Structure 1
Amino acid sequence: MSGSSFEDKSVIVTGGGSGIGRASALRFAAEGARVLVADLDADTAEAAADEVRAAGGTAETVVGDLSRQEVVDRVAATAADRFGGIDVLVNNAGIMDDLSAAAEVSDAVWERLIRVNLTAPFLLTRAVLPHMLERGAGSIVFTASEASLRGSAAGAAYTAAKHGVVGLVKSTAVMYRDRGIRVNAVAPGGTATGISVNPSPGAHGPAVMGTYAANIGRVAEASELAAAIVFLASDAASNVNGVVLPVDNGWAAV
């Protein structure tokens, strides 16, 4: 790990207990970073942190709903206190919808998807920016989605939330690019994670989306997304800012 660009850097990974988040946490740790795993599930968060420690790395955990301000504050404070600052934030935590079209989406589903997938990463970004600005450097990487690029990859709520993520990425990149902060996103296509989709039988949204299912192509491993996330956060991407990078085996090119 010696000589890595992440040696002794402080990295927060949300949704770090499973899927893309876990793979990213492990990869950052392998590159020398001290990693805070933030997740809703205590068991998966601790398991990921234990794996980091078993490999000789340093890890902390914060468990809670990241759409709540008090949990976000605890994440930022823990990373800053335990690691001496915050160098990287990976806004990865998110939930999938049931592929419902706009006429089928309930208020509860809409509000929860927007809160978890858009408001929570905004709250985290707002919380870590003062720490990064104090240092004059920092990198934030969001997990957007193929649904942030097109209308045929998810339901209305998820698609709207992930399009909002792209807007947040670009706005924040522009606002802070002269202060040493870079903000980018990956847009995963089909990826082997634990997120499940349970569409309602006979619903309009899933029926329409089935028309486009053949465009997905090969399903990625979480480690492939982690590699892209770590690249965007690294000095190798020092002049990459405001970018949404599809990691989708060419789905975005179809």
Structure 2
Amino acid sequence: MHLQLIRNATLRLSYAGQTLLIDPWLAPRHAVRSFGGRSRNPTVDLLMPVDAVLGGVDLTLVSHLHPDHFDTDPVRLPLDGPLLAPPAEAAALRTLGFTDVLTLEDAVTWRGLHITRTPGAHGTGTARAAMGEVSGFVFRADGEPTVYWAGDTIWNDDVARTIEQHAPDVIVVHAAGAQYEGTLIIMDAEQALAVCAAAPRAVVVATHLEAVDHATVTRADLRAAAARAGLADRLLVPEDGETLSLPAQAVTG
């Protein structure tokens, strides 16, 4: 399995003979409004042409339609490409003109790849209400590690139950410590370490970093926290454009 971080939450996942694109945010630098009052977003450019991000993609997965996860104004994906999304997002994507949208209610098997939708909490209290519902995904296939892409969630019981139920080999977390009106809405360094503790045999990959202006945690912060906890070999913090190769035997042996 190969996982390439494009930018923020956007990933290309080579898995079970398929190329998956997750939450493609393709906007140029500063094309989107500020989220934290410090800068327009994204705060950094894509490191590759959009055509290179989209080339060879077999299926695009959309967790939710926040403006740092998917471009809607303007739409930057081909309207006829296959997408998979939870029910509300699938309906919205069809309204935007996408013509090949699969709805993910709970779980689906697609080309030998089993995809399960998972819950999360995009904050607490009024922040969670403002952010709305979000989803993550668990990927399973013969000969591949089980991958849990947690999505825009803080560490909570939903995440803990998903780890317990699915025993993932690889967990992708969003760990920039982004805040909404002072409330944490995705994981920070402490919560990323809590994921490591809950899944002691898994590799944890931290993404959603250094691309939005409401973030409070940097890559250096995460790497330092992992080093202090003795987890530098299990909490991986890729750079934009970096590809990680994670064969099943490397994460389960």
Shorter-chain-normalised TM-score: which range?
Answer: 0.3 to 0.5
User: Greater strand percent: which structure?
Assistant: 2
* Higher percent of residues as helix: 1
